[in-house]
Structure 1
Amino acid sequence: MKEIATSCSDAIKGIHDGATIMVGGFGLVGIPEQLLIALADSGIRNLTVISNNCGVDDWGLGLLLRNRQITKIIASYVGENKEFERQVLSGEIIAELVPQGTLAERIRAGGAGIPAFYTPAGVGTLLAEDRETRVFNDTEYVLEHALTADFSLIRAYQSDRMGNLVYHKTARNFNPIMAAAGKTTIVETEQLVETGELDPDRVHTPGIYVQKLIRAVQQKRIERLTTR
């Protein structure tokens, strides 16, 4: 049985100033939005955030940006957040941009205990400057180091009380690999079911990677609404 928090503020207890956190999601899909609200309300500062992107100005990780709670972010895409752009250009925040596939593999490697790997992505660009490279089969590769975090904040569709997780369609995105790469994984789940109710063949993340659960209802905002 995993620890089941009574509130999102209870769920994030233990996250401290200066922590490194991974945050699941792609755009606003699959983000642990209620945990992020609790983190924004907590006043915790000097966070290093690893996420595909940084939400939008008034939602998701954008709430933490607005509060100046993030010192550094490692991400692959920043285009939907004007406040993020402003803070980067003014030097208020450190941004490490990583090709999306490389970011995913760095996180997956961290969860698998692989310290580093070589990839052709970024060779010959500014991303590879002052970095170790090697040639394999006449192709140049750049060394990338794995990523891990003190805490991973994850969004799931279903969880049982043992922490076995099921994601909903594309909301799976970065969540499974981040769940494996965090020392402490905190899961915000839409449905909490009894142990044995989940079909084992449908489980995407085994409960061994999960330390804490909170059942929370999402708003599920649309990042960019387009109508005729």
Structure 2
Amino acid sequence: MSLRDFTRIGRKIVAIGRNYAEHAKELNNPVPTSPFFFLKPTTSYLLQPGKIEVPRNCVVHHEVELGVVIGKNGRDITAARADDFIGGYVLALDMTARNLQDEAKKSGKPWAAAKGFDTFTPVSDFIERSAIKNPHDLRLWLKVDERTVQDGSTQDMIFKIPQLIEFVSSIMKLEEGDVILTGTPKGVGPVKAGQTVTGGLQLPGSGKDVIATFSFPVIGRPGTGAFSAK
């Protein structure tokens, strides 16, 4: 099976929290001195031409991120060896039900519900590793309709990708197809049904060298469940 099928072969989505200082500050969170992460279910993956679903009574925020796709299994991977375990990349969104997350944080509960709804990890097509020479010098941007809401650089990551791979793999085995979401720059904010979210990943200082893009319409969550749009 091709690594391009990472959304089917990967067993976990490892999302790094607060890896951009300005994003931590915009939500009044402390800037971390060591990495931390949470897990998202692979059922939250959304491929184009899918639609992002906004659950009822949820304030859903966008968070654009560079994702690292793991190319082979490994545990206790040192930062010096981390590059050997990168199979490719992906442009991703870590959608967040912010009001549910805030409630969970106040009561000391996990964030799983706020991060784990179906469609809450929209992704671009797989990006070949050879297409990105330096993952720490890329422009990440996101528009809601025609308004640019996030525009940052992976240069601003607090913890670089080798350090993240070392940290995560010291706790749990990383497996082929797993994705590490490396954090989001400042500018996170709400999306609503009827809007369209468009993102891009490109080389710095250029409007032409676009590596990946995606575009997803936003709808109310269908169905008859507790979080379905009424």
- TM-score, normalised via structure 2 length: 0.22
Say which one has the larger Rg. 1
- TM-score, normalised via structure 1 length: 0.22
**Which fold has the larger relative contact order, with Cα–Cα distance below 8 Å and residues 6 or more apart in sequence?**
2
Larger helix proportion of the pair: 1
